[in-house]
Structure 1
Amino acid sequence: MGDFVLKYDPNGVWYGIFTAFADKGVTHGISTRLGGHSDQPFASLNLGLHTGDDAQAVWHNRQAFCQALGFAAENAVTAEQVHQDLVQLVTEKDIGRGARRYEEAIKNTDALITNAKAVPLMLFFADCVPVLIFDPVARAVGISHAGWKGTVAKIAQKTVLAMQDNYGSKPADCLVGIGPSIGPCCYEVDEAVMSKLRDGFEQWENLATPCGERWRLNLWEANRQQLKEIGVMDSNITISGVCTADNTQVFFSHRAEAGRTGRIGAAIML
């Protein structure tokens, strides 16, 4: 469908875009860790307010990232992500929720959808999968936070279905971008995770390969598979193919950095 490419903004921020989304004129981007104000171990473009980083530095980072994408950080709508499968419908009334204060974010939510113009949706990641969704026909957008728990619970699929229920989106019309996250090269999981995967995916053998007593899990493919199940066209799905754990010079990785690290942000707006 397209590519995932890195761009540089004159304010110093590096971020990635999906060319298929850009070609349709939708505002979006996925940050890197480059071009911010935070010190180690959060250096330097940490966008997570819940990491233990200096809150003022994070706010400056959010301002820089959002400026690069073309909207005010004060308007971003964020969520208190809890690795579950709740999808929240966002309207103009939600503008700014969690933008500057974590306690004001939408509670217990891992996916956001909207058909309102100029309402930026933003979630945060450090190995979990950012899934961006754009329906150019019904004019709606969504974003999902898909760690292994969210992936097994099929949160990306549920996000598209929520767009269908609320906005009349057809899965076949939707463009999907699967962003940088821990890849099958680095993501080893145990039998407890595999048991959940087997329960949720009939074709689970295509999603994991044995690695000694553990397994290497392909979250990218698991999210692609669940989206195809409901009619999202394979040709409309872009997988960045960038592993955060294998590229800690550019992205934050919770696993590779032993849990003491920052968060990248993913944002989308009509």
Structure 2
Amino acid sequence: MEPFVYDNQSYFSIKNWMKQHPGLVAGITTKKGGSSTGVYENLNLGFHVGDQFDAVCSNRNQVASLLQFPVQHWVGAEQTHDTLIRRISRTDRGKGADSYDHAFKETDGFYTNEEGVLLTLCYADCVPLFFISPKHKMIGTAHAGWKGTVNEIARKMIEQWQREGIAPNQIFAAIGPSICEKCYIVNDYVINFVENILVDVEEKPYNLISVGQYTLDLKKMNQLILLKAGVPEKNIHISKLCSSCDESEFFSHRRDQGQTGRMLSYIGWKETSE
């Protein structure tokens, strides 16, 4: 069953998680319903892609209103396709929310167990990873393009949570809408990294299509990395939605040849008391 449910023209929600855990907000935005124009039409949420600053701010305020989670309580990152993951607290609220300049530098993952903080990251084909350990009220999100994937940002999130006293079998993960295997063609250079990570895994997440050209399933690869890290298969939910195939719903860096907007992944606990 598809874990990401079309709740509104502007976002897909991880509906099961939200039903099971009152107060949780989790999902990813679409490209619909914003005020951006041109190649950023309509709901671009990335400050760093060349869109009008005021349009991005307007779009973020609109999403904040829909989610009932004020922008001042968001955190955002200067994503660099690396594997730095930060633990976030309420004192961090607002960093990267209304300006790229104030975002967390060189960061591709966040986690927290505090209420009233919305963890956000931007995407246009890369894999959005979502994490929750209900027993510990811990939530997290990570940005996994091919570099983040082969450098195992998914495993590093699990390991950081283990240091927080959370066992892998207590963690649930959702792998969000991103580029599918058919749309994602890579070369030997990338596949060499993949093979090094999955040397002891029989089922490979890629297929040779011509000399030096492969289709690569980044979602599947992240699932395999999570399984190796000890997360049970039944705890991992994978979206079938493709950012490149579905032009009406998503921005795609590959499909749009680099001139495009960004979706926003988000996860947070709403405040139950002030």
Shorter-normalised TM range: over 0.9
CA deviation vs aligned residue, 1:90-136 (integer Å, no higher than 9, x gap): 11111000101101000101001111111110000000000011110
How many Å apart are 1:204 and its aligned residue? 7.0
Distance 1:110 1:234 in 2: 24
Contact 1:207 1:218 in 2 (8 A): yes
**Which stretch shows the higher mean deviation, 23-32 or 178-187?**
23-32
Q: TM-score, normalised by structure 2?
A: 0.93
Equivalent residue in structure 1 for 2:32, among 8, 31, 34: 34
Q: How far apart, CA to CA, are the structure 2 residues paired with 1:162 and 1:218?
A: 25
2:184 to 180, 187, 192: 187
In the alignment, structure 2 segments of 5+ residues that lack a partner are: 270-274
- Please say which of residues 66-75 and 113-122 is displaced more in the overlay: 66-75
Which amino acid counterpart does residue 186 of structure 1 have in structure 2? C
Alpha-carbon contact 2:2-2:240 (below 8 Å) kept: no
Q: C-alpha displacement at 1:68, in angstroms?
A: 1.6
2:49 partner SS: coil
Alignment of 1:183-222 (within 5 A): 183-202=180-199, 203=201, 206-213=204-211, 214-222=213-221
Which residue of the partner structure matches residue 111 of structure 1? 109
**1:66-77 equivalences in 2 (<5 Å):** 66-77=64-75
Amino acid at match of 2:6: L
User: Matched residue of 1:93: which SS?
Assistant: helix
Deviation of 1:14 (Å): 2.0
Q: Kindly, what percent of the aligned residue pairs are identical? A: 36
Asked if the contact 1:4/1:238 (under 8 Å) is kept, the reply is no
Indicate the residue corresponding to 1:241 in structure 2.
240
More displaced 10-residue stretch of structure 1: 229-238 or 178-187: 229-238
Q: 1:5 corresponds to which residue? A: 5
Task: Give me the whole-angstrom Cα distance separating, in 1, the residues matched to 2:13 and 2:159.
Answer: 24
Equivalent position amino acid for 1:181 in 2:
S
Cα contact 1:142–1:160 (8 A) shared by 2: no
Deviation above 4 Å: which 4+ runs of structure 1?
Answer: none
| Matched letter for residue 139 of structure 1 | K
Q: Which runs of 5+ in 1 are unaligned?
A: none
The alignment yields a C-alpha RMSD, in angstroms, of 1.3
Report how far residue 172 of structure 1 moved.
Answer: 1.1
Residue in structure 2 matched with residue 19 of structure 1 by the alignment = 15
Superimposed CA distance per residue, residues 195-239 of structure 1 (whole angstroms, 9 cap, x where no aligned partner): 111111122752100111200000011111111112212111111
Please, which moves more after superposition, 138-147 or 22-31? 22-31
User: Partners in 1 of 2:6 and 2:228 — Cα distance?
Assistant: 30
Matched positions, count:
265
2:249 corresponding residue in structure 1: 250
Q: Distance in 2 between matches of 1:69 and 1:29?
A: 10
State the distance in 2 between where 1:53 and 1:204 align: 44
State the alpha-carbon separation in 2 of the partners of residues 27 and 19 from structure 1. 9
Deviates more, 1:65-74 or 1:211-220: 65-74
> What is the TM-score with the length of structure 1 in the denominator?
0.95
Aligned-partner SS, 1:142: strand
